[in-house]
Structure 1
Amino acid sequence: MSTQTIQYMKPVALRLPPGIPESPSRQRRHTLPANEFRCLTPEDAAGVFEIEREAFISVSGVCPLQLDQVQHFLTVCPELSLGCFVEGRLVAFIIGSLWDKERLTQESLTLHRPMGRTAHLHLLAVHRTFRQLGKGSTLLWRYLHHLDGQPAVRRAVLMCEDPLVPFYQRFGFHPVGPCAATVGSLTFTEMQCSLRGHASLRRNSDS
């Protein structure tokens, strides 16, 4: 599932009184890259959940993963997550786990199968302030490239609402039919993507 809405409070810069030098950690803060991508940790779970809750509840009225489920995935399979940070602040993320069946089922929404060869993308969400800036697309490309570097993972699979099918087709996903899993009253199309040769797909993409 994916969506791209949320709003954070604007951070306020704190200034030290004259004559007091900044600590090394605050000095390093100014040298952070404008955009940083890294796997998430359980410490990121609260920020992830805030983005997810605002995004999905405002759109569909339901939250695909609860906070404890987010923490679970970021504990047992953090290597299957990826976050986009702007000046140290999380603005977009993907949460994934491994799955060991050909198609998704209802239980695939909350389980991680360590012996699975399929990466199940549970969530893709972008902070509302950063929509229409290409953050979601860039994050997804990087995530698929990240998966491509994991020999045990052969393909990626996700479920999305019909209007998002063309978006994911740009990244090599193809629809395989209605998904057996549902969230609340929502139904989805299941989409799969082979990770072999994905780097060449990106080079030939207009995205």
Structure 2
Amino acid sequence: MSAISALPFLKPLHFRPPRSSPGRQRRHTLPASEFRCLTPEDAISVFEIEREAFISVSGDCPLHLDEIRHFLNLCPELSLGWFEEGRLVAFIIGSLWDQERLSQDALTLHKPHGTKVHIHVLAVHRTFRQQGKGFILMWRYLQYLCCLPYVRHATLMCEDFLVPFYSKCGFKALGPCEVTVGSLNFIEMNYAVRGHAFMRRNSGC
């Protein structure tokens, strides 16, 4: 999934770059690719991506703008954004849940003492789809959850056509979800973070 770049050409030791002229401005560039937790300041960018991704398909969004701000204020550490040159291109937002299975309350609540991360939404900007970014971001997110000692499981609900994608990410289908949104029904899926504790031991977390 990741490209290996060639080593840069090494300059001889006696080489000295030319001095910059006093009037020349130094160039500052943003990181080509960066993964970080989201902040409330990212909420509008998040919502714009989510709205385009979901409204055209289902007519609604998993999280509305006020709900995005709600979760990014309460538990920003359970979110992850992928930025390319400072621009958000994909994201995940989660919160903690404390029950065996999801219920309607899980759509809006964050349970601080829970051990299960409810993944509310994963979305990729339209110009970056069909590039495997959703799978890579989820893989990075699950690796990150393995570094959080209080997390035992990750759970989500999805429509039938997305089950193969999340199965490829390592989730197991638990069956129909109790939660419904309008006329939509979902499959609940679970990822055993505790079962991947060896990743935590070997990751330096």
TM-score surpassing 0.5?
Answer: yes
CA distance in 2 between counterparts of 1:120 and 1:71 reads: 16
AA aligned opposite 1:168 = Y
For structure 2, list consecutive stretches of 5 or more residues without a partner in the other structure: 1-21, 200-205
AA aligned opposite 1:38 = R
Q: Is the 8 A contact 1:145 1:198 kept in 2?
A: no
The aligned residue for residue 119 of structure 1 is 117
CA distance in 2 between counterparts of 1:148 and 1:183 reads: 30
The aligned residue for residue 106 of structure 2 is 108
* Secondary structure in 1 matching 2:166: helix
Q: Is the 8 A contact 1:62 1:184 kept in 2?
A: no
Displacement of 1:169: 0.8
The aligned residue for residue 178 of structure 1 is 176
Instruction: Classify 1:57/1:21 alpha carbon distance in 2 versus 1 (closer, same or farther; 3 Å).
Output: farther
Q: 1:70 aligns with which of 39, 64, 68?
A: 68
Q: RMSD value over aligned CA atoms?
A: 1.8
Displacement of 1:199: 7.8
- Report the TM-score when normalising by structure 1: 0.81
* Secondary structure in 1 matching 2:178: coil
4+ residue runs of structure 1 moved beyond 6 angstroms?
Answer: none
AA aligned opposite 1:150 = L
Aligned residue pairs, count: 178
Displacement of 1:200: 7.0
Q: 1:54 aligns with which of 52, 55, 66?
A: 52
CA distance in 1 between counterparts of 2:79 and 2:107 reads: 15
| 1:122-180 deviations in Å (ceiling 9; x for gaps) | 00000011011111111000000110000000010000011111111112111101111
CA distance in 1 between counterparts of 2:83 and 2:196 reads: 24
Larger relative contact order, structure 1 or 2 (CA cutoff 8 Å, min sep 6): 1
AA aligned opposite 1:143 = Y
For structure 1, list consecutive stretches of 5 or more residues without a partner in the other structure: 1-18, 202-207
The aligned residue for residue 168 of structure 1 is 166
Does residue 148 (structure 1) correspond to residue 157 (structure 2)? The answer is no
The aligned residue for residue 205 of structure 1 is none
Q: Is the 8 A contact 2:146 2:194 kept in 1?
A: yes
CA distance in 1 between counterparts of 2:177 and 2:42 reads: 29
- Report the TM-score when normalising by structure 2: 0.82
AA aligned opposite 1:133 = Q
Q: 2:97 aligns with which of 96, 99, 116?
A: 99
| 1:169-195 deviations in Å (ceiling 9; x for gaps) | 112111101111122221100000101
